[in-house]
């Protein structure tokens, strides 16, 4: 299945008084990597929303291993772990760029929701696009 990665720098606003990036921001970075994952697969998330679907977050998990400092370059890698009838699961690995140390890893789980707010099966066009191996 497909994967993608993005790079961010830790913003000052993202640090806390421990001097490292606050743990909540890792989830925002994962989300940005998920956006990139969908774009690279050929279906930007905003297009999916325009087609009447949303992928709200049902579960979110992160395990933190290393602190990330202000202005450090960070790599976030995202990949589909599961594209099932009833849910998607996306996995993430977050690396400190300079030494490739794994700083955190996590996952999110998403149902497919249609216009009327109901959970629906993962559409076929989605499965076709994203279940193929990464080029």
**What 3-state class would DSSP assign to 134?**
coil
Contact predicate 126/110, CB 8 Å: no
Give the residue with the Cβ less far from a copy of itself, 49 or 131: 49
The span from the CA of 37 to the CA of 90, in Å, is 10
Check residue 86 and report its DSSP letter. Answer: S
Which residue is it, tokens 């140390």? 101
Our finding on whether 43 is near a copy of itself (CB under 8 A) is: no
Beta strands in 3-117 (DSSP E): 3-9, 59-64, 73-83, 88-96, 102-110, 112-113
Contact predicate 132/80, CB 8 Å: no
Our finding on whether 57 is near a copy of itself (CB under 8 A) is: yes
Listed ranges 58-66, 84-92, 95-103, 127-135: which one lies at the site for a copy of itself (CB under 8 A)? 58-66
Our finding on whether 99 is near a copy of itself (CB under 8 A) is: no
Give the residue with the Cβ less far from a copy of itself, 51 or 132: 51
Our finding on whether 123 is near a copy of itself (CB under 8 A) is: no
Listed ranges 68-76, 85-93, 95-103, 122-130: which one lies at the site for a copy of itself (CB under 8 A)? 68-76
Our finding on whether 51 is near a copy of itself (CB under 8 A) is: no
Binding site for a copy of itself (CB under 8 A): 9, 11-13, 15-20, 22-25, 27-28, 31-32, 35, 39, 44-46, 54, 56-64, 67, 69-71
């Amino acid at each position: 299945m497909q994967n993608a990665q993005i790079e961010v720098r830790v913003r000052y606003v993202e640090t806390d008084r421990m001097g490292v990036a606050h743990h909540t921001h890792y989830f925002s970075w994962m989300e940005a990597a998920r956006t990139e994952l969908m774009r690279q697969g050929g279906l930007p998330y905003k297009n999916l929303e325009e087609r009447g679907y949303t992928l709200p977050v049902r579960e979110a998990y992160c395990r933190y291993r290393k602190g990330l400092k202000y202005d450090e370059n960070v790599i976030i890698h995202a990949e589909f772990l599961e594209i099932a009838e009833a849910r998607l699961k996306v996995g993430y690995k977050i690396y400190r760029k300079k030494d490739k140390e794994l700083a955190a890893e996590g996952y999110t789980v998403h149902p497919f929701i249609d216009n009327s707010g109901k959970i629906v099966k993962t559409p076929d066009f989605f499965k076709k696009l994203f279940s193929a191996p990464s080029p």
